[in-house]
Amino acid sequence: MNGRKRATSGLMVAIAAVLAMLVGVNPALGTPRGDGGTRVCGKTESTPVAGGRYEAQNNLWGADTPQCITAFDTGFVVDPADHRNEDGPASYPSMVWGCNYGNCTKDTPFPKKVSELAGLRSSWTVEVPPTGDYNVSYDLWMDPTPRRTGRPTGLELMVWLKNTPRVQPIGEKKAEVEIGGTTWDVWLGAIDLPTISYVRQEPTLEVKDLPLDAFVADAQQRGVAKPEWWMTSVQAGFEPWIGGRGLATRSFSADIGTPAPAP
């Protein structure tokens, strides 16, 4: 599933580099750079995208290695990032929809009662580098109160679309479940708050209309999410341990629409 570049002659590489300088394109990733995006390098820095509907955050919290993202309306690309963590994530560069440490995206429906999340869906397309250790994951945060500031205290619900072998969720695998037409491993654990992680058995770099509400419903059935709690944000990004340069969100959207019909 990792992206690989075809062998290219030196002449073609030189031509691509010249064109990149002329039009502001990164030849390795095919992404506009410079004036075509917003550079974000502060550890906790973020920038609004898509007219403020979402926020793209650098979120460098687990390492002192330099990391930046270049954000666009449709997503972001990580560069640089050459992390060397052996026992946990260096960061979580991500798209945010909702409220995150006092910063709420424009016209967000969050915080929203967990019992009112029917129809919560998301589409997401990413690219990954050929090396490094990381996951590609959603992060859904819940709190007993309609929290807009600080860190939620109820539950962290993660949905992993892909991970390299060494990168594992918090806790232990407890079950398997069918959601959205595919099978997910269910992991349960806790560090400072309970975490439930759904790990896709068949990795993917793209999802369309992923029923996030179905994961929330499953977490309620397992007793780790409460219907009276509040979801504060939906986030989608990467947890790099080793490397990280070249991780990219190409497109992202999320919405609360009409619930899917019961099977």
Q: Point out the residues that are catalytic.
A: 156, 239
Distance CA 205, CA 246 (A): 14
3-class SS of residue 50:
helix
Distance of CA 221 to the CA centre of its chain: 24
Q: Tell me how crowded residue 140 is: count the other CB atoms within 10 A of its CB.
A: 27
- The per-residue DSSP string of 110-163 comes to -SEEGGG-TTEEEEEEEE--SSSB-EEEEEEEEESS---SS---SEEEEEEEEE
DSSP 225: S
Those residues with Cβ within 8 angstroms of residue 192's Cβ, 6 or more apart along the chain or in another chain: none
Distance CA 96, CA 54 (A): 5
3-class SS of residue 174:
strand
- The per-residue DSSP string of 15-42 comes to HHHHHHHHHTEETTTTEE-GGGSEEE-S
Those residues with Cβ within 8 angstroms of residue 22's Cβ, 6 or more apart along the chain or in another chain: none
